[in-house]
Amino acid sequence: MRYLFFLLFLVSSANAQINAMHCGYDFTSYLVLDVHENGKKETIKGLKITVVDSLGNDIININNLYSWKESNKPLLFSLNYQIDEKGDKITAENPKARWFFPYAKDNYLLSVANTFPADDFRLKVEDPSKKYRTQLVQLYAFNMYVLCASQSEKAVQFGKKQNRPIDIVLEKNK
């Protein structure tokens, strides 16, 4: 009988270790934006893109409620950038360069918690140079990049596909 309990203990311990394995993106998802002009593929640089509520007010990341970065600040997108083999941001041409967030190329991105309630918010895309019109874009849960297998298995398997950039086409001011 003792051997049976010992065997059950070993099996449950092995199972617990298997379930304890983690993904590098545990607890984190990304929002990725492909912002360009109609008919063009180049990403428009220098934009201010924030997460806002239904009234257009910036959402503040109070005590890291929405993101593990930039506590108590507005949720602000940044451009993806290239890194070298050491993981340092590249400032010059480097043939071994790779993207910081490898699932997005020359796009805007924001790291958010997996619990981020995307359906409750919008994106506000502003051009400080006033060349392009300001745009509000509704967010949805399927806009989030779900990167760990355990979370993606739970994701909805119908409707729009996940892990695709949000396509935002800006119009020039007249």
The sign of the dihedral angle between the CA atoms of 62, 106, 119, 160 is negative
144/121 Cα distance (integer angstroms): 13
How many residues are given for the chain? 174
Whether residue 144 lies inside any domain: the answer is yes
Whether residue 8 lies inside any domain: the answer is no
Considering its fold, how many domains does the chain have in total? 1
Mean pLDDT value of segment 26-34: 86
Q: Give the C-alpha distances (Å, rounded to integers) separating 124 from 86, 104, 159.
A: 34, 20, 25
pLDDT for the residue 93: 81
* Domain of 163, in residue numbers: 23-170
Mean pLDDT value of segment 48-73: 95
Dump pLDDT digits (tens) for 100-154: 888 888 999 999 998 899 999 999 999 999 999 999 999 998 898 876 754 444 4
Here the tokens at position 114 are 């997996």
pLDDT for the residue 71: 94
Whether residue 6 lies inside any domain: the answer is no
Whether residue 9 lies inside any domain: the answer is no
What's the mean per-residue pLDDT of the chain? 82
Q: Of the given ranges (92-101, 103-112, 155-164), which has the lowest mean pLDDT?
A: 155-164
Whether residue 32 lies inside any domain: the answer is yes
Dump pLDDT digits (tens) for 131-142: 999 999 999 988
- Nearest by Cα to 103 from 139, 147, 149: 147
Here the tokens at position 31 are 């929002």
- The per-residue DSSP string of 23-88 comes to -TTTTEEEEEEEEEETT--SPPPS-EEEEE-TTSPBPB-GGGSS-SSSTTSB-B-EE--EE-TTSP
pLDDT for the residue 23: 58
Whether residue 15 lies inside any domain: the answer is no
Whether residue 39 lies inside any domain: the answer is yes
Whether residue 5 lies inside any domain: the answer is no
